[in-house]
Amino acid sequence: MYVRLMKLKFWKNMNKKDINIEEQTDCQNNVADMNEEVTEKAAADATDNSGDEAETEIPENTEEKVESGDESNNSSDSNESDEKSPLEKAQEQIDELKDKYLRSVAEFDNYRKRTLKEKAELILNGSEKAVGAVLPILDDMERAIANGEKTDDPQVLREGISLIYAKFQKVLESLGVKEIETADADFDTDVHEAIAMVPGMGDDKKGKVLDCVQKGYKLNEKVIRHAKVAVGQ
């Protein structure tokens, strides 16, 4: 009996232990379930919070991207307007040089036409100054002829002609005309023209101008007519 009672107590205790073990197991399972629920809830909250933050940050990033896109478009447009390709720059330089060339050609053509016109006018009217200076001499000669018909005194006519001659010489000098010297001058082929050679005049007359048959003249140091002379040899 005693043994049976001890066995019953043993099994009761074992049952209690089993119950306690099962209760502990259940509690542990409940705690684990609660921890899992808490963990899942915390994860869900974190996910929701991260989603909210992401949703709040997305517009900012979008605005920044839009602004950066606008700035990049503006900068690209400004760069395209400011920076031109080498081909466009070369074409602009060609157009500029072509314009300068056409302007230079037009200016040179106008200059050529103007100089040709001035040259033609100079050829046609180059003697205007000389003619204007000689006209008073013509007037004096007409008056001398008219007075010569009224008098028979040769002295009066001679004096009148001498005055006209002296006036004419002054007019020529004013125009740059000078007489070539021939009196006792050495023969010079640049200004003299020998029309006669006179032998036997002595060594002192050799190569000298003995006589002037026709006077020669210079215009501004340029010989316009050689003096015709006789030269000793």
Q: How far apart are CA 225 and CA 15, in angstroms?
A: 168
For 204-231, the pLDDT digits (tens) are 888 899 999 999 999 998 999 999 999 9
How many Cβ atoms sit within 10 Å of the Cβ of residue 182?
A: 22
- Residue 24 pLDDT class (50, 70, 90 cuts): very low
What pLDDT, in 10s, does the model give residues 110-129?
A: 999 999 999 888 888 778 88
Q: What structural domains does the chain harbor?
A: 177-233 (2.30.22.10)
Quick check: 194 pLDDT over 70? yes
CB 182 within 8 A of CB 212: yes
The pLDDT of residue 22: 47
pLDDT interval class at 41 (50, 70, 90)? low
